[in-house]
Amino acid sequence: MRAARSKLLLLLPAAAVFVLFLVFPILIVLNESFHTFEPGRIGSVEGGPLTLANYAELFQPVYGQYFAQTYVLAICSSAVSIVFALPIAYCIARTEFAWMQKAAISAIVGLMFLSSLVRVYALELTFGSAGVLAPLMSIIDIDTNSRMYINFVILAGLLQYSIPMSILILIGAIKNLNPRLTEAAMSLGASALAAHLTVTIPLSMRGIVSAFLVSMTLGVSAFVIPLILGRGRILFISNLIYSRFSEVANYPSGAAISIVMMVLALLLILVMSRLATTLERA
Amino acid sequence: MLSTKERLNADVTFRTKALVSAKPMLSKRRIDTLLAIAVTAIVAVTALFLLFPVVVTVLMAFDGRDYIGPFPPTELSTQWFGRLFEDAYIWEGFKTSLLLAIATTAAAAGIGALAALAISWMSPRLRDVVTTMFLSPLVLPGVIIGFGLLMFFAAFHQLPAFLKLFAGHLIITLPFTIRMTLVGLAGISQTLREAALSLGANERQVFFTITLPLTKNGIAAGAIFAFATSMDDVTISLFLSDFQTYTLPLALTTLIKSNFDLTIAAAAVAMISLTLVLLIVLDRVLGLERAMGHGANRIR
């Protein structure tokens, strides 16, 4: 009994950090989101009446735009990264040269470990309005200041991380497949394309779903990418929350957006992991 | 990569030709050729897309011109590195970042290793629940953690920014150290423990002579993830810093927005070098594939 208790003591520091720096802060955000905002004050009024106004406010179309902006770009980046990552992951998983596989995986891990700021700066330097490709863009008549173009640059920013990560996840999924299944399909007369569409893709569905989920989670909570590449013209939900703190000091509103964003993020994980289990069973 | 596919195709054609007439095979072969071309194109385009910006940044950091001109640079020099080393603003951020990353890594590695040990002794069901709970900071949007901590610390007046940053970085690095230590622990065969126990060692001796040495690499890998995460974080640090205490990523974010020049490219080259060093160490202590299999979803 004493031994068991002393073993649980080892968990204490981590549990303390977790409760103090994660659970408490989130509860404070939750509490704040039900308070009224008084302009000119930092934070809400202590002991004031509780209100749902901060949430009701979010039904205005302006806010819908921010949420739509974030989710559309996140879904696009997840879908595009699956389409690009799947064939690449297949090639890497099935290559017969061990050194080639090792080199490819090292390069991909290297890209993922790269500081997000380096990645964002590299994109801005390459595709930005003051970047090295700007002269080329003006030749082929692309306006680097248009909303559409900024959207594309943000999408590129999301893809810089989600493609390598999806490749890594899918390599694992494809390695678990028996290569003989695809071979069997082909020897029975299926073309390589048909074999992959009917054998490889359905059997690696769990990997595809989890790659999609991770890309989505990353996309919807992206902060630095839209902060810099969006040039203040395109904001994600995260940036909106930050501006509630840095520009108008409307904490209750920022808190309400945070709670909605968190609930949506958790719902996404729940739905996607349910989906993965269902597909697994099917 | 493609040779496998081509050989397979040839193989299939060879095998099926005997059975079916050659005519429908042609269109099938055309489909397969198209697929092979499409796959090659996807690999090439993706490699270009992922690597080109990095190559541009590295080469532009050595640009001899005074302005951001067209790529590639016409003359090379190390002037931007010179400016980087003279930039007091970036240096100050770097010092804070390094100190913070070292403190965070040490604390997270210690606390994480203890927690992972306790978790590994739990029943499988409880283990899953507790692990999921401790890994949750990875999937929660960073803004929410930052915003929450900001309001939490507002209750304590005059807390130094460094301590706030430390707390913020601790909560986002702890998941990595816990997870990687668990990976290290999972690799230890139970028979080793039992053998030692049956040979007369007590629990304590088993821990110090078997468990700890074999978990060392997992803990080290977790520490590397923690260090990289701490050196990289912008989202949470932005809420917790002040005008005196700021990290390197924050300094660079401000510079990218206010003074977009190639000094930042030079700083990026320095950070890329640091990443390479960390990767080599990670490969040595745990192996890249094994480490990434479990740490892959580094959300931010």
pLDDT above 90: residue A145: no
Same domain, B272 and B137: yes
In this structure, the answer to whether residues B40 and B106 fall within a common structural domain is no
Minimal-distance CA residue of chain A relative to B52: A126
Q: Do B26 and B165 share a domain, yes or no?
A: no
Q: Compute the distance between CA of residue B187 and CA of residue B287 in angstroms, rounded to an integer.
A: 13
Q: What's the rounded Cα separation, in Å, for the pair A174 and A177?
A: 5
Q: Is residue A150 a contact partner of residue A229, using CB atoms and an 8 Å limit?
A: yes
| Residue matched to tokens 């409307």 | A250
State the pLDDT at residue A1.
44
* Residue A167 forms part of a structural domain: yes
In a domain, A259, yes or no: no
Give a yes or no: residue B74 inside a domain. Answer: no
* Pairwise CA distance, residues B28 & A245, whole Å: 60
**Total domains in the fold of chain A:** 1
CATH of residue A204's domain is 1.10.3720.10
The per-residue pLDDT for range A83-119, each reduced to its tens digit, is: 999 999 999 988 888 888 888 988 998 888 888 899 9
Q: Are residues B38 and B127 in the same domain?
A: no
The answer to whether residue A262 scores a pLDDT higher than 60 is: yes
Please report the ipTM that was assigned to this predicted complex: 0.87
CB contact under 8 A, B143 and A221: yes
Contact B141 A126 (CB under 8 A): no
Is B126 in the same domain as B269?
Answer: yes
- A125-136 tens-digit pLDDT: 888 877 778 878
Which of A126, A127, A228 is opposite residue B257, by nearest beta carbon?
A: A228
pLDDT for B294 beyond 60? no
Is B46 or B31 the better-scoring residue by pLDDT? Answer: B46
Within-domain flag for A20: no
In a domain, B80, yes or no: no
Is B20 within 8 Å of A189 when comparing Cβ atoms?
Answer: yes
Q: Are residues B95 and B18 in the same domain?
A: no
Contact in structure between B115 and B134 (CB atoms under 8 Å):
yes
Question: Which of B144, B157, B164, B169 to probe the A interface (max A CBs under 10 A)?
Answer: B144
Yes or no, beta carbons of A192 and B134 under 8 Å apart: no
Residue B75 lies in a domain: no
pLDDT digits (tens, 9 = 90+) for B244-277: 899 999 999 988 888 778 888 899 999 999 989 9
Coil, strand or helix: which one is B63?
Answer: strand
How confident is the model over A11-23, as a mean pLDDT?
Answer: 91
* pLDDT above 80 (res A282): no
Task: Please report whether residue A155 resides in a domain.
Answer: yes
Contacts of A105 in chain B (CB under 8 A): 288-289, 292
For B20, the closest chain A residue by CA position comes to A189
Q: Do B109 and B33 fall within a single domain?
A: no
Beta strand segments in chain A, E = none
Contact A241, A261 (CB under 8 A): yes
User: Is the confidence at residue A121, as pLDDT, over 50?
Assistant: yes
CB B253 within 8 A of CB A224: yes
Look up the domain containing A133 and give its range: 61-248+264-281
Which of A22-36, A184-198, B223-237 shows the lowest mean pLDDT across its residues?
A: A184-198
Residue of A nearest to B204 (CA): A3
Give residue A178's region: left, alpha or beta (phi > 0; psi -120 to 50).
beta
Same domain, B125 and B243: yes
Residue B72: asked if its preceding bond is cis (omega within 30°), the reply is yes
- pLDDT of amino acid A236: 93
Question: A8 lies in a domain?
Answer: no
CATH number at residue B265: 1.10.3720.10
Please tell me if residue A243 touches chain B, with a CB cutoff of 8 Å.
Answer: no
Chain B nearest CA to A191, separation (Å): 6
Using a CB–CB cutoff of 8 Å, tell me whether A137 touches chain B. Answer: no
Residue B4 has pLDDT above 80, yes or no: no
Give the distance from residue A69's alpha carbon to the nearest chain B alpha carbon, in angstroms: 16
The length of chain A, given as a count of residues = 282
Domain enclosing residue B123, as ranges: 87-295
- List, for residues A55-86, the tens digit of each pLDDT value: 888 888 888 888 999 999 999 999 999 999 99
Q: Does residue A106 sit within a domain?
A: yes
Q: Do B46 and B169 belong to one domain?
A: no
A256 touches chain B (CB under 8 A): no
A55 CA: distance to closest CA in chain B (Å): 16
When divided into structural domains, chain B yields a total of 2
Using a cut of 0.90, tell me whether the model's pTM lies above it. Answer: no
